[in-house]
């Protein structure tokens, strides 16, 4: 915390807020959403920021962290791996990161799980701010006025909703149209597989301009036609043919494909 020189202690110093505003004024947060759709891996190491109060020291110092069972619904060995019992605060540093190893599982597409962390006092560090009050001026994001900064909770999910840029639509009778038709997770994941794009690429016109969208459409379209001609068509979860661009078939949401029909 800027300007604070009190007891030697540790606290979670996680900040986030509006991307268009300076991160220097993002408020401190007691929770963090972690969505696997933003990552291209089934396992990630998520860094959770911890800072210290009190004077710097010219030697490494360990601090303790553990899972808080009262705020945890995630399952050890399924959704996350065991935390290190101690994390090192490097010499002459104010900042360290708790490495939290998270795992993508199928159930995260349907439900969110929580992983609560809590700092534990040891011979080197106490707990700086068990009663944290929001700092005036740090308001360029969601504001939580009071919380315990010795605790932090990760909300882990793998939900995929239609991104900001999705160049498709649904016409009368649930017919797919536009470049990409109806949004489905399966379709976006196929796009990612064929062209190396990520979910984050669909977040703005800057990262998914029209020319890139057209190229993506052509690549997916060629693949779908190739699979169809090989009598191994790509189907959506409701059984209909996956549809983009100018494939030589029409797809209606909820109407399964019938070979030879």
Which distant-in-sequence residues (6+ apart) come within 8 Å of 193 by Cβ? Answer: none
CB 59 within 8 A of CB 91: yes
pLDDT in tens, 218-254: 999 999 999 999 999 999 999 999 999 999 999 999 9
Query: Stretch 97-123: mean pLDDT, rounded?
Result: 96
Question: Alpha-carbon torsion 107, 197, 49, 83, what sign?
Answer: positive
Report the pLDDT value the prediction gives residue 26, as an integer from 0 to 100. 79
The predicted pLDDT at position 142 comes to 60
CATH 3.20.20.60 is the classification of domain 9-157: no
pLDDT at 203: 87
Q: Two tokens at 221? A: 């379209």
91's CB contacts (< 8 A; 6+ apart) are 57, 58, 59, 60
Closest CA to 181 of 129, 249, 113: 249
Question: What is residue 36's three-state secondary structure?
Answer: helix
Of 66, 59, 140, 139, which is closest to residue 100 (Cα–Cα)? 66
Token duo for residue 245:
């661009």
Where exactly does CATH 2.60.40.1740 map onto the chain?
Answer: 9-157
Question: Is the pLDDT assigned to residue 150 strictly greater than 50?
Answer: yes
Residues 27, 153, 54, 23, Cα dihedral to 10°: -30
pTM as predicted? 0.74
Q: Which of 204, 168, 171, 173 is nearest to 188 (CA)?
A: 168
């Amino acid at each position: 915390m800027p300007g604070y020189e009190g007891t030697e202690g540790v606290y979670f110093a996680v900040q986030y807020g509006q991307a268009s505003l300076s991160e220097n004024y993002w408020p401190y947060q007691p929770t963090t959403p972690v969505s696997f759709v933003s990552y291209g891996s089934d396992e990630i190491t998520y860094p959770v920021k911890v800072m210290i109060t009190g004077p710097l020291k010219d030697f490494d110092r360990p601090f303790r962290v553990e899972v808080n069972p009262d705020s945890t619904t995630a399952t050890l060995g399924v959704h996350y791996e065991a935390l290190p019992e101690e994390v090192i605060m490097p010499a002459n540093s104010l900042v360290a990161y708790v490495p939290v190893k998270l795992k993508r599982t199928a159930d995260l597409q349907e439900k969110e799980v929580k992983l609560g962390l809590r700092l534990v006092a040891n011979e080197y560090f106490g707990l700086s701010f068990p009663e944290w009050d929001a700092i005036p001026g740090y308001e360029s994001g969601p504001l939580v006025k009071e919380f315990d900064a010795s605790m932090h909770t990760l909300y882990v999910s793998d939900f995929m909703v239609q991104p900001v840029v999705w160049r498709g639509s649904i016409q009368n009778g649930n017919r797919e149209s536009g470049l990409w038709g109806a949004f489905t997770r399966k379709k976006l994941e196929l796009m990612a597989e064929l062209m190396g794009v990520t979910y984050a690429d669909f977040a703005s016109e800057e990262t998914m301009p029209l020319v890139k969208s057209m190229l993506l459409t052509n690549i997916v379209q060629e693949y779908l036609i190739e699979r169809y001609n090989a009598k191994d068509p790509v189907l959506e979860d409701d059984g209909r043919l996956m549809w983009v661009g100018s494939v030589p078939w029409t797809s209606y949401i909820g109407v399964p494909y019938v070979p030879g029909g």
